């Protein structure tokens, strides 16, 4: 696009001319330029500088060309549409001489512009102060002299800002209108010639259309401009076959140059108006119109250059256009064929521009090679210049101090074009275009389209002998085509890569690419006749593959040199430069050589023999004879070599001493046929035996190292997926072919040592559980023995309690290994440094002393359960049966044991009030409805605490002592007894419950009073273990002062007919008088005396006793009359429980000796 | 009139499974191997376009000079074939220079029919 001048690339701007008063020019110019639409201005300081009138042109003369090269720039920069004559008010209203001068200047100006139809405006510059002094008459006279409308005369006041802005704005409007009128008139003038068909030749038709279009563009009438450009374009196209004005080659060049210009202008208008679809349709028509017009054969390259430029310029336009900058009405018809998606992308056009430029290059090279005498014209080529008309060239001759333009003949022009063509190298431009396109496609994630660009780019690099760049791109392309299985494309790219590696003297790459090409599947439908169209690889025919195969092996065997024509260097594979190819699972060379290895058994005993089958397959077109095969394992002692029975082992073959060598009858790889080799293999080492590599040696310096694969896991490459070929199985046994593995498990030797874990039932939480472990040898001696102990949670969780993970203390570990105690080794001579003992909470390691056959050794594991949790104990012993062979692998014995951890005792507690005593605790009453379960105790009142101990284990336990330990030594409460050692241990059988009563008298009023911990010491009844302590924390209690305390008093038993006293004592502990309502219900079993229902007042800090005399009438356990006590103040009443109202009535006084036996 | 045409069937994982030069005379400047490159490059646009329309025949979706790529996408991308999974989203591509759209469409339909018949044969392992 840069080859088009600036004025063509931007929308046209009207041109005005300012004459006179140069001091105001900058002001006006800047303003006109800043407006929208802007007006350019040419400033002439003086009226003396008005150019003279041009002599009239001879219209009968036939046109020398279609469009003058500078016509457009002339209108944009030199011929104004409007002239503004500027006079100062002093001159206008000055003395007669000054006025005369003004009139003369004006006349001169009018005379100059009259022929050209240029419009005139007049400015009178005045000072703000003199504004009113300027005579109206003089102004009128001036206007009449200038023959202009009154609105076209402006009084210009530069020294007053508001007035100045107004003047400038008016000036811009007036000049704009006048310019528009000028362009419209001019357009009409030329258009009338068109309408009357008043032109003598086709050239003039095109020229007139072009001019009218340009004038319309000046007026921003885009619709008309487009229409006229279109007319010009069509008229021009018709000229191709009809015009005879110039020699044919130059005629076509001129027509194409004009067509290019017209199309450029149209595209600009359409694209800036956002009419992308129309622009694309036009472009397609444009290229279709001219693509076939290649012209004379000797300058055919000019055509391709022109076409390439069309694409490139359009791409640039598409890239840079900002849509909707102009408002262009829709005109162009939408094509029947919709543009493809890519046609909206500049990348598409860049790519095609590059491909046409490539075409040009090819034609140019051909043209140069055909014309031997290009050089003879070289000297005079410099004198050829572009002539006045667009697309024309002529020779500039100096004749008697004057320059004459002499037309060229076609032959001269062709020579000139060839010489010009030779001067430029297009390859870099082609690469730059393709790179742009490649990047654009890549960024829009069109990988495959980008790949096609990449291919063209890489070809160009290749043609420039820039092999490293070419190879890089070709490599990435090969990856894509390989992945998607596009055979022919891959073949083509590999052919280039092969040549690149040749150019870079890289024998390894050359062989790799050659082998890959040779082993590609055959393509159908190709015959030798296409060979001239193919790349360096030639056609993808079987014979070509065989040729490539042979070449590769000749180079690999060192039989021929790798010649690089460009660098004139030769490379030969020899012992200094061996070739080593590695083929792994993802390598494209897998089809060249695939090595499958399968063991016949999945497992083998150490020292036992197993069969192994090595299957090799190649897709190379010709049979390959392998000199030697080496099979490598992860256990290097098992490696072995297979030699070719047809070839004697030469001195150059690498055979390491001590290695096993097998001989196969022949090692020939036929196309798509498995070469199966089966051998015995033996391993003494236990563990995994895996085949890693199968290394094939062909010739002295060529090695292919192929990673072994399992038949069970083989997957075919996409290239071969749909090929019509005979599928054979790699191993004769079909089962093995499907499931064979390249690795085998060598078992450990059978252990001859027993590991015994003595379990003694479940463990109890809190105790240190002792577990004896015995190692006893049956048939092996034990050397360097190690015992590993692992504690694992059976349910999969950790042994740490969740909250304990950050603070690692013994309390937070559910189960821990505390200690390992072992017998002293019998052999004292063992060095102490050999003893290992590591103990961690869940892991332990201890060394086992050397044991001879038949000996045994034991140790005790001490495991402590902090929380009830079942665990799995894993104990493994690793030892060497012989002490003299440290390289041997250890023998392992594993044992595991699940141990339950259970809670030994469950402790519970209960608070009870003393019999027939009820303190009134207000807070307790309130809290009944709430969820708070904290017990309430009465201050200074006795409360009973019952601790019950239940044996949850499966073994009898002996309880030794029980105590309540207060956390802080304080007098907050009194507990009796504090501690009790049982004189005889209480045997608590499984499931049994044992209860102990304590009394508590709280001394401090408090909420959340800490009572302390119950501490119970117990041991197993078997006496085998030491005593353990289980602790139980008593929950906090609320202590409250009872406001009232009611106690019922009556004898424990009564006798029928005998009266007894039944009293209700109400103690008021408050400082206020308490009103108490009291009532007693009647009972059939008793006759009672006393107040039946009463209200009484209890004085502060005093007690009131209600006494009843009861006579029992019945026998046995009788219910006493129910007494109800209610406090009026607290709305609280006491209903004594049924149990507290029972009394036993004897018929007579029993004759039981209640005295203790000792007292008798 | 001599015409160039290259026909290709591309499987759902972009691997060509059948190709044939079906034109009467291959043009001199359009080397036959070039056709694969052009058809391969057009796959990108097929990928995009196939999801924007329910039509199977995508008409001319890419152009390279005079050569046009027409594509027919089998219905697999809309319907799920349970029995013959391999018919899903197969693309029949034709690179041609003639503008006979109807002819190309009926050619594609005929090939599609034959292709379904061939690939529906039991035990015909195409994948």
Per-residue pLDDT tens over the stretch A1132-1148: 887 777 777 888 888 88
Distance from C-alpha of A270 to C-alpha of A703, rounded to nearest angstrom: 65
**What's the rounded Cα separation, in Å, for the pair A474 and A536?**
13
Average pLDDT, chain A: 81
B37 and A533 within 8 Å at the Cβ level: the answer is: no
Query: Which pairing describes strands A783-793 and A843-848: parallel, antiparallel, or unpaired?
Result: antiparallel
Q: Which of A447, A449, A488 lies closest to B33 in CB terms?
A: A488
> Chain B residues with CB inside 8 Å of A355's CB?
65
Chain A hits for B21, CB-CB cut-off 8 Å, are: 525
**Rounded average pLDDT over A461-489:** 89
Query: Could you tell me the two tokens for A15?
Result: 């041109």
The arithmetic mean of pLDDT across residues A761-776, rounded, is 82
Query: Residue B61 and residue B39: Cα distance in Å, rounded?
Result: 11
Interchain pair A491, B33: CB under 8 A: yes
Q: pLDDT band at A831, cuts 50/70/90?
A: very low
Which residues in A have their CB inside 8 Å of a CB on B?
337, 340-343, 352, 355, 441, 446-449, 451-452, 455, 481, 484-489, 491-492, 523-526, 530, 533-535, 540, 718, 721-722
Measured between alpha carbons, how far is A835 from A849 in angstroms, rounded to an integer?
8
As for how many domains chain B has, the answer is: 1
**Strand arrangement, sheet containing A675-682:** A594-599, A609-617, A675-682
Eight-state DSSP code of residue A1057:
T
> For the residues A534-545, what does the mean pLDDT come to?
80
Per-residue pLDDT, A850: 85
Q: Which residues of B touch A (CB under 8 A)?
A: 11, 13-17, 19-21, 26, 28, 31-34, 36-38, 40-45, 48-49, 60-63, 65, 126-127
| Residue in chain A lying closest to B12 (CA) | A484
Answer yes or no: do A486 and B126 touch at CB < 8 A.
Answer: no
The range of the structural domain enclosing residue B25 comes to 5-125
Closest CA of chain B from A546, distance in Å? 20
Residue A1154 has what pLDDT? 62
Distance, in angstroms, between A334 CA and closest chain B CA?
Answer: 16
Nearest-by-Cβ selection for B31 from A484, A489, A534: A534
Task: Please give the share of chain A, as a percent, with pLDDT higher than 70.
Answer: 86
Sign of CA dihedral A490, A492, A493, A495: positive
ipTM metric: 0.77
Whether residue A1022 is preceded by a cis peptide bond, meaning omega within 30 degrees of 0, is no
What pLDDT, on a 0 to 100 scale, did the predictor assign at position A694?
A: 92
Q: Label residues A1000-1029 b or e (16+ Cβ within 10 Å = b).
A: bebeeebeebbbbebbbbbbbeeeeeeebe
Q: Report pLDDT digits (tens) over A125-156.
A: 888 777 777 777 778 888 888 888 888 888 88
Q: Which residues on adjacent β-strands are paired with residue A632? A: A693
Q: Does residue A473 carry a pLDDT above 90?
A: yes
Question: What is the pLDDT, as a whole number, of residue A525?
Answer: 52
Residue of B nearest to A722 (CA): B17
**Chain A CB contacts of B60 below 8 Å:** 337, 340
Instruction: Count residue pairs from A and B with Cβ separation < 8 A.
Output: 86
Q: Inspect the interface and report whether the beta carbons of B44 and A448 lie closer than 8 Å.
A: yes
The alpha-carbon gap from B91 to the nearest alpha carbon of chain A, in Å, equals 14
Contact B33 A489 (CB under 8 A): yes
DSSP letters along A110-123, please? Answer: HHHHHTTT-EEEEE
Quickly tell me which residue has 């206020």 as its tokens: A1072
Q: How far is residue A1093 from each of residues A9, A762, A1058, measured CA to CA in Å?
A: 121, 65, 24
B36/A486 CB distance under 8 A = yes
What angle separates helix A202-218 from helix A248-272, to the nearest 10 degrees? Answer: 20
pLDDT at A93: 76
Q: Check pLDDT > 60 for residue A329.
A: no
Asked if the model's pLDDT at residue A531 lies above 50, the reply is no
- CATH number at B26 reads 3.30.450.70
Q: Give yes or no for a contact between A75 and A15, defined as CB atoms under 8 angstroms apart.
A: yes
Please give the pLDDT value at position A470. Answer: 92
Inter-chain residue contact A337 with B60, CB threshold 8 Å: yes
Determine the pLDDT at residue A798. Answer: 60
CA proximity to A308, closest of A258, A352, A344, A363: A352
- At A496 the pLDDT is 92
Interface test with A, best of B37, B49, B64 (most A CBs within 10 A): B37
B38 to A452: CB separation less than 8 angstroms, yes or no:
yes
Give the closest of B15, B19, B43 to A448, CB-based.
B43
State whether B44 and A449 contact (CB < 8 Å): yes
Provide, as residue numbers in chain B, all residues whose Cβ is less than 8 Å from the Cβ of A481: 40
Which regions in chain B score pLDDT beneath 70?
1-3, 23-32, 75-88, 121-127
**Is the confidence at residue A475, as pLDDT, over 90?**
yes
Q: Give the pLDDT of residue A381.
A: 53
8 Å CB contact of A486 and B38 = no
pLDDT of A312 over the 60 cut: yes
User: Measured between alpha carbons, how far is residue B52 from residues B45, B47, B55, B56, B78 in Å?
Assistant: 11, 10, 9, 11, 11
Q: What is the mean pLDDT of residues A921-945?
A: 73
Helices (H), A93-160: 96-114, 136-146
Among A13-22, A986-995, A1098-1107, name the one with the lowest average pLDDT.
A986-995
Does the global pTM surpass 0.80?
Answer: no
Alpha helices in A399-519 (DSSP H): 410-423, 427-443, 447-463, 467-484, 487-503, 507-518
Q: Closest Cα of chain B to A411: distance in Å? A: 28
Q: Which two tokens stand for residue A292?
A: 């076939």
Across A86-95, average pLDDT: 81
- The shortest CB-CB distance from A455 to any of B21, B37, B42 is to B37
Q: What are phi and psi of A282, to 5 degrees?
A: -60, -40
Which pair of structure tokens corresponds to residue A1007? 């909420």
Q: For the segment A492-527, what is each residue's pLDDT rounded down to a tens digit?
A: 899 999 989 888 888 889 999 999 999 888 766 544
- Cβ within 8 Å of residue A583, ≥6 positions away: A589, A590, A592, A593, A704, A705, A706, A707
What residues of chain A lie within 8 A of the CB of B11, using their CB? 722
The residue with greater pLDDT, A387 or A657, is A387
Q: Do A448 and B49 touch (CB under 8 A)?
A: no
- Give the total residue count for chain B: 127
List chain B residues with CB under 8 Å of A487. 16, 36
Cα nearest neighbour of B61 on chain A: A340
Dist CA A879 CA A881 (whole Å): 6
Distance from CA of B20 to the nearest CA of A (A): 7
CB within 8 A of A943, min separation 6: which ones?
A911, A912, A913, A914, A937, A999, A1000, A1001, A1002
CA A915, A918, A919, A924 torsion: positive or negative?
Answer: positive
In this complex, the residue of A448, A485, A488 whose CB is nearest that of residue B41 is: A448
Categorize the per-residue pLDDT at A458 as very low, low, confident or very high, splitting at 50, 70 and 90: very high
Kind and range of the H or E element at A179? helix A161-195
Chain B hits for A530, Cβ within 8 Å: 26, 31-33
Q: Which of B11, B36, B49, B100 to mutate to test the interface with A (most CBs of A within 10 A)?
A: B36
Q: What is the pLDDT of residue A514?
A: 92
> Searching chain A, which residue's CA lies closest to the CA of residue B64?
A352
Nearest CA-CA distance, residue B78 and chain A, Å:
22
Where residue A383 falls among pLDDT bands split at 50, 70, 90?
A: confident
C-alpha angle A1081/A1085/A1090, rounded to 5°?
A: 45
Residues in chain A: 1160
A369-380 tens-digit pLDDT: 877 655 544 455
Instruction: Name the pairing type of β-strands A119-125 and A82-88.
Output: parallel
In angstroms, the separation between the Cα of residue A310 and the nearest Cα of chain B is: 14
Structure token pair of residue A637: 């002692």
Question: Could you identify the residue written with the tokens 């250890």?
Answer: A890
Q: Identify the residue among A336, A337, A489, A720 best suited for mutation to test binding to B, counting B beta carbons within 10 A and taking the highest.
A: A489
- In this predicted structure, what is the pLDDT of residue A685? 78
pLDDT at A833 over 60: no
Average pLDDT of the segment spanning A410-429: 82
Q: Which of B32, B37, B60 sits opposite A530 (nearest CB)?
A: B32
| Residue, of A625 and A408, whose pLDDT is higher | A625
Residues of A in contact with B123 (CB under 8 A): none
Tell me whether residues A447 and B65 touch, CB distance under 8 A. no
DSSP state of A533: G
Map residue A1143 onto helix, strand or coil.
Answer: strand
Pick from B14, B31, B45: which is nearest to A533 by CB? Answer: B31
Residue where the block lists tokens 């374009």? A233
Q: In the predicted model, is pLDDT for residue A1021 greater than 90?
A: no
Chain A's closest residue to B20, CA to CA, is A525
Is the per-residue pLDDT at A715 higher than 80?
no
CB-based contact A486 B16, cutoff 8 Å: yes
Of the candidates A352, A486, A721, the beta carbon closest to that of B40 is on A486
How far is residue B62's CA from residue A339's CA, in Å, rounded to a whole number? Answer: 9
Stretch among A344-348, A719-723, A829-833 having the lowest mean pLDDT? A829-833
* Chain B residue whose CA is closest to A359: B29
The reply to whether residue A340 touches residue B61, judged by beta carbons under 8 angstroms, is: yes
Closest chain B residue by Cα to residue A527: B32
B29-41 per-residue burial string, b: 16 or more CB within 10 A, e: under 16: ebbbbbbbbbbbb
In this prediction, residue A693 carries a pLDDT of: 92
Give me the mean pLDDT over the A244-252 stretch.
79
């Amino acid at each position: 696009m840069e080859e088009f001048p600036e004025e063509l690339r931007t929308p046209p701007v009207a041109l005005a001319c300012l004459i006179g008063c140069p001091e105001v020019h900058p002001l006006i110019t800047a303003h006109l330029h800043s407006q929208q639409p802007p007006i350019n201005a040419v400033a002439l300081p003086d009226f003396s500088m008005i150019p003279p009138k041009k002599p009239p042109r001879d219209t009968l003369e036939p046109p020398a060309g279609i469009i003058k090269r500078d016509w457009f720039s002339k209108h944009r920069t030199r011929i104004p549409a409007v002239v503004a004559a500027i006079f100062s008010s002093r001159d206008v209203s000055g003395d007669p001489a000054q006025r005369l001068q003004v009139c003369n200047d004006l006349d001169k100006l009018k005379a100059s512009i009259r022929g050209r139809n240029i419009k005139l405006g007049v400015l009178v510059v005045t000072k703000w102060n003199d504004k009113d002094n300027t005579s109206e008459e003089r102004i009128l006279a001036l206007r009449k002299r200038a023959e202009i409308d009154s609105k076209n005369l402006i009084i210009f006041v530069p020294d007053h800002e508001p007035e100045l802005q107004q003047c400038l704005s008016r000036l811009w409007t007036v000049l704009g209108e006048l310019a528009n009128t000028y362009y419209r008139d001019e357009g009409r003038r030329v258009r009338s010639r068109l309408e009357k068909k008043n032109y003598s030749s086709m050239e003039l038709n095109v020229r007139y259309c072009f001019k009218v279009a340009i004038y319309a563009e000046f007026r921003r009438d885009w619709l008309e401009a487009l229409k006229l450009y279109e007319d010009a374009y069509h008229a021009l196209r018709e000229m191709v076959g009809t015009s005879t004005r110039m020699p044919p080659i130059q005629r076509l060049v001129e027509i194409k140059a004009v067509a290019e210009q017209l199309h450029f202008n149209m595209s600009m208008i359409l694209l800036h108006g956002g009419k992308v679809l129309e622009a694309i349709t036009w472009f397609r028509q444009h290229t279709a119109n001219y693509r076939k017009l290649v012209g004379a054969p000797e300058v055919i390259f000019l055509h391709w250059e022109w076409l390439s430029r069309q694409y490139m310029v359009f791409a640039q336009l598409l890239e840079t256009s900002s849509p909707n900058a102009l408002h262009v009405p829709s005109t162009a018809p939408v094509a029947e064929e919709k543009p493809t998606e890519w046609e909206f992308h500049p990348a598409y056009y860049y790519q095609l521009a590059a491909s046409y430029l490539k075409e040009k290059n090819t034609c140019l090279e051909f043209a140069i090679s055909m014309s031997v005498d290009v050089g003879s014209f070289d000297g005079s080529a410099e004198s050829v210049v572009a002539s006045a008309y667009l697309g024309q060239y002529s020779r500039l001759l100096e004749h008697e101090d004057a320059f004459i333009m002499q037309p060229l003949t076609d032959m001269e022009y062709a020579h000139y074009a060839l010489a010009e063509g030779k001067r430029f190298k297009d390859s870099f431009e082609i690469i730059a275009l393709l790179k742009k396109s490649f990047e654009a496609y890549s960024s829009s994630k069109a990988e495959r389209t980008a790949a096609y660009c990449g291919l063209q780019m890489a070809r160009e690099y290749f043609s420039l002998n820039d092999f490293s760049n070419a190879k890089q791109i070709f490599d990435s392309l090969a990856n894509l085509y390989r992945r998607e299985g596009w055979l022919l494309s891959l073949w083509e790219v590999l052919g280039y890569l092969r040549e690149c590696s040749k150019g870079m003297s890289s024998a390894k790459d050359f062989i790799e690419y050659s082998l890959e090409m040779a082993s590609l599947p055959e393509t159908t439908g190709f015959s030798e006749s296409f060979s001239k169209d193919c790349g360096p690889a030639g056609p993808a025919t079987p014979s070509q593959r065989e040729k490539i195969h042979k070449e590769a092996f000749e180079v690999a065997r060192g039989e021929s040199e790798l010649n690089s024509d460009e660098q004139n260097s030769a490379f030969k594979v020899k012992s200094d430069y061996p070739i080593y190819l590695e083929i792994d699972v993802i390598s494209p060379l897998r089809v060249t050589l695939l090595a499958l290895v399968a063991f016949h058994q999945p497992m083998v005993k150490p020292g036992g023999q197993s069969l192994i089958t090595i299957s090799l397959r190649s897709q190379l077109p010709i049979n390959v004879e392998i000199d030697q095969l080496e099979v490598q394992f992860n256990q290097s002692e098992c490696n072995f070599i297979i030699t070719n029975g047809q070839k004697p082992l030469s001195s150059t073959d690498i055979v390491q001493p001590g290695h096993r060598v097998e001989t196969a009858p022949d090692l020939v790889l036929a196309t798509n046929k498995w070469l199966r080799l089966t051998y015995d293999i033996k391993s003494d080492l236990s563990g995994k035996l895996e085949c890693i590599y199968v290394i094939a040696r062909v010739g002295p310096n060529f090695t292919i190292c192929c990673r072994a694969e399992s038949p069970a896991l083989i997957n075919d490459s996409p290239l071969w997926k749909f090929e019509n070929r005979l599928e054979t199985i790699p191993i004769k046994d079909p089962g093995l072919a499907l499931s064979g593995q390249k690795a085998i498990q060598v078992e450990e030797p059978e252990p001859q040592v027993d590991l015994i874990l003595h379990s003694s039932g479940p463990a109890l939480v809190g105790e240190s559980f002792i577990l004896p472990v015995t190692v006893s040898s049956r048939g092996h001696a034990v050397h360097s023995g190690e015992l590993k102990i692992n504690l694992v949670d059976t349910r999969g969780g950790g042994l740490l309690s969740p909250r304990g993970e950050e603070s690692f203390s013994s309390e937070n570990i559910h189960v821990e290994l505390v200690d390992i105690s072992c017998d002293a080794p019998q052999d004292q001579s063992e060095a102490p440094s050999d003893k290992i003992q590591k103990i961690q909470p869940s892991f332990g390691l201890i060394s086992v002393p050397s044991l001879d056959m038949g000996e045994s050794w034991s140790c005790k594991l001490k495991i402590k359960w902090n929380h009830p949790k079942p665990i799995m104990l894993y104990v493994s012993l690793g030892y060497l049966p012989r002490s003299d062979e440290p390289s041997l692998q250890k023998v392992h014995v594993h044992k595991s044991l699940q141990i339950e951890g259970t809670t030994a005792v469950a402790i519970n507690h209960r608070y009870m009030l003393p019999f027939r005593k009820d303190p009134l605790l207000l807070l307790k009453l309130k809290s009944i409805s709430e969820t708070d379960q904290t017990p309430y105790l009465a201050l200074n009142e006795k409360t009973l605490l019952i601790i019950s101990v239940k044996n949850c284990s499966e073994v009898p336990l002996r309880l030794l002592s029980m105590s309540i330990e207060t956390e802080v030594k304080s007098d907050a409460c009194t507990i009796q007894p504090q501690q009790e050692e049982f004189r005889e241990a209480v045997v608590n059988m499984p499931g049994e419950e044992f209860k102990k009563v304590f009394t508590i008298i709280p001394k401090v009023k408090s909420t959340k009073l800490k009572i302390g911990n119950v501490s119970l010491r117990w041991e197993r009844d078997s006496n085998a273990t030491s005593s353990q302590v289980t602790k139980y924390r008593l929950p906090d209690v609320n202590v409250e002062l009872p406001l009232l305390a009611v106690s019922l008093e009556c004898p424990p038993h009564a006798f029928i007919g005998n009266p007894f006293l039944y009293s209700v004592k109400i103690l008021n502990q408050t400082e206020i008088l308490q009103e108490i309502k009291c009532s007693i219900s009647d009972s059939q079993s008793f006759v009672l005396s006393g107040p039946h229902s009463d209200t009484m007042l209890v004085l502060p800090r005093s007690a009131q006793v209600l006494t009843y005399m009861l006579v029992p009438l019945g026998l046995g356990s009788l219910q006493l009359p129910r007494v109800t006590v209610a406090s009026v103040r607290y709305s609280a009443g006491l209903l004594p429980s049924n149990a507290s109202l029972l009394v036993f009535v004897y018929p007579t006084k029993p004759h039981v000796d209640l005295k203790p036996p000792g007292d008798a | 009139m001599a015409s160039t045409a290259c026909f290709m069937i591309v499987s759902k994982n972009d691997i060509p499974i059948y190709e044939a030069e079906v034109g009467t005379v291959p043009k001199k400047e359009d080397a036959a191997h070039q056709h694969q490159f052009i058809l391969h490059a057009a796959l990108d646009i097929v990928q995009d376009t196939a999801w924007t329309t329910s039509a199977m025949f995508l008409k001319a979706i890419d152009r390279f000079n005079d050569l046009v790529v027409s594509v027919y996408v089998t219905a697999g991308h809309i319907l799920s074939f349970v029995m013959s999974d391999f018919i899903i989203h197969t693309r029949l591509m034709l690179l041609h220079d003639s503008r006979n759209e109807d002819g190309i469409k009926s050619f594609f339909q005929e090939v599609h029919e034959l292709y379904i018949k061939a690939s529906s044969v039991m035990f015909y392992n195409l994948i």
